A and B are shown apart, each in its own frame.
Chain A
């Protein structure tokens, strides 16, 4: 009997990565992608947390330059951070196998935006897979490496929250897969993107995409079910599943390799039905591409661009229903845990009525009652820099109230760049940065980072020390305090530092209570 497993999409990806002997998995945590590397490591794969997504992708690129098979994982907004290497590696390609997983979050279950990263495939010029189930996560990841190695290109693997976290059945492969042969060869013309070489590489990239489009037309990644000549549905990713439930009588064209699109197959399918719908979550990308190529399809109304799709919404799209949708009854919002070290830190900031330039982590919850202390939050690492911008522009009295608040994992991610900016372009009133060091990446489920002293697989690592680094960078005052155990002293310290024109970093150090549970469990 064939072995069958019940796996989340993330687990299936990890298992496929182990099956095809991926040499290295690198990423930065971010819901809904975080479990992939943990699972890959548990299965025996070599996996590591990088300090941020740019670093992660670059390490993966290096491994693929050496002809290894490498995997980079991140959430959708992480790809923004990694976009610089992405756009250029799309030109040069890689001699090995390189897959970048972008875990998108339509509906913003746990994110600051719901950007549609299918746009990255188009914009950078790399092929993209979109799995619809855990089985496809498994099968397509292997296919993604094969495509990557055949065409010498990075492949984007676009998952979404429901695909990452839903558990569905998977039949894994049991045969042996050939390992990558690591034999580095210098090829500067391909791998050094000076303008002269990059001009050539750009053309090569477009040719590569044309060849992949042709391969896509052959149908390996297409499922076509002709059931009706009335209604046809073109669907991608999880939307396919909703469409099957919403309209079991309709004909379906399901696409797996969704960039570059198999336009002739789509044209042919659309010609066989009276009305052809495109069911896709997020931006109307397939719809617009079809229309631009003269394929008559019907997209969704703008109201369905927001949030996730589901069976009910797909039914509404198919029936042309654009009446307002019933708002779901709001659930209870998350809160900082009882005993969370961030609580007292915010209590102090609220008491002093500070202007808090915030950042992303558990501590973003300080925006909600009872604290309502956080004023701004843009993206990871932005607290220090946006706080500096405020200090530069505001009148002195107000500028003195500005603090930047950032977590430890976020500090190493991109916050550290803000310290460089602060020391280099110092505001007249100085600045105060509060680093909430709970010794873990808590928000995304307790991952280690450069400052915890442990690797992804829990083995000990060299521990980077925040105070040593910021002192060495030229910050005037560096204090370490526990705002819970020494609350009054913490408030006094804050007042004192705010009153001066110094550049001050206050490290609030107390472990996350769930992080302690994790460490004890080890």
Chain B
């Protein structure tokens, strides 16, 4: 039995990587999992590589995912696949821009929510409504509609 699930969001500063992982961590938190989320802040506003790691399960110790043990690797920017791919476990799931109908987005700023939608398909233990609920709680009202649309497009 696998006790802890490991997820990475990766991309470049300004793409909403941290926001997407904040939303997911909050969802898992409301579902009473033990959750740990780890990222290195610092200079992300200058467009460098950013990644955020989430671990959840009954009991999580290290906030950092052991190398090569990531179950889901969500990469928001094509160049960042190479940087992160060795972190994925064998048989783990990779989600990249190529997997998503990004051209259907009415607002490109909602791309991160589309990636969250694509990931949500795999996290069958989380009800869809919970995603919608927390997305609404985390984002300003004027962008609710476009983000929920993006989430649903991603979820497919």
Contacts and interface: CB of A to CB of B under 8 A. Distances in A.
Nearest to B61: A244
A200 interface: no
A111 to B, nearest CB: 9
Interface residues of A, number: 36
A110 interface: yes
Interface stretch (B30-38, B102-110, B114-122): B30-38
A246 B143 CA distance: 43
A337 B38 contact: no
Contact of A337 (B34, B39, B42, B45): B45
Contacts of A169: 29, 34-35
B40 A332 contact: no
A271 interface: no
- Looking at chain A's contact residues, the main secondary structure is loop
A241 B61 contact: yes
Interface stretch (A43-51, A160-168, A391-399, A405-413): A160-168
A443 B43 contact: yes
Contacts of A161: 40
Contact of B47 (A31, A166, A238, A337): A337
B47 A334 contact: yes
A334 B62 CA distance: 27
A367 interface: no
- Looking at chain B's contact residues, the main secondary structure is mixed
A195 interface: no
Interface stretch (B77-85, B124-132, B145-153): B77-85
Interface in A148-200: 161-162, 165-169
B64 interface: yes
Contacts of A514: 45
Contacts of A362: 46
A311 B67 CA distance: 8
A167 B25 contact: yes
A438 to B, nearest CB: 13
Contact of B25 (A6, A334, A445): A6
B47 A329 contact: no
Contact of B66 (A6, A312, A337): A312
A445 B44 CA distance: 10
Interface string B14-29: 0000000000011001
Nearest to A34: B41
A369 interface: no
B79 A31 contact: no
Interface residues of B, number: 36
A165 B43 contact: no
A242 B64 contact: yes
Residue of B38, B51, B60, B61 ringed by the most chain A CB atoms within 10 A: B61
A346 B61 CA distance: 45
A6 B68 CA distance: 26
B47 A335 contact: yes
Contacts of A310: 62, 64, 66-67
Contact of B46 (A166, A329, A330, A336): A336
Contacts of A336: 46
Interface string B79-109: 1101110100000000000000000000000
Contacts of B61: 241-242, 244-245
A332 B47 contact: yes
A162 B53 CA distance: 12
Contacts of A335: 46-48
A294 interface: no
Residue of B26, B37, B44 ringed by the most chain A CB atoms within 10 A: B37
Contact of B64 (A31, A311, A326, A330): A311
A4 B31 CA distance: 12
Contacts of A365: 46
Interface in A309-341: 310-312, 326, 329-337
Contacts of B12: 332
A32 interface: yes
Contacts of A242: 61-62, 64
Contacts of A244: 61-62
A110 B46 contact: no
Contact of B63 (A110, A162, A326, A332): A162
Nearest to B10: A331
A167 B63 CA distance: 8
A90 to B, nearest CB: 31
A4 B1 CA distance: 27
B48 A166 contact: no
Given A161-B40, A332-B49, A245 B25 contact: no
Given A31-B42, A110-B43, A332 B62 contact: no
A6 B38 CA distance: 12
10 contacts: A109-B41, A169-B29, A245-B62, A310-B67, A330-B83, A332-B48, A332-B49, A333-B48, A334-B47, A337-B46
Interface of A: 4, 6, 31-32, 109-110, 161-162, 165-169, 238, 241-242, 244-245, 310-312, 326, 329-337, 362, 365, 443, 445, 514
Given A32-B42, A332-B47, A335-B48, 19 more contacts: A31-B41, A110-B40, A110-B43, A165-B38, A165-B40, A168-B35, A245-B62, A245-B66, A310-B67, A311-B62, A331-B48, A331-B80, A332-B48, A332-B49, A332-B79, A333-B48, A334-B13, A362-B46, A365-B46
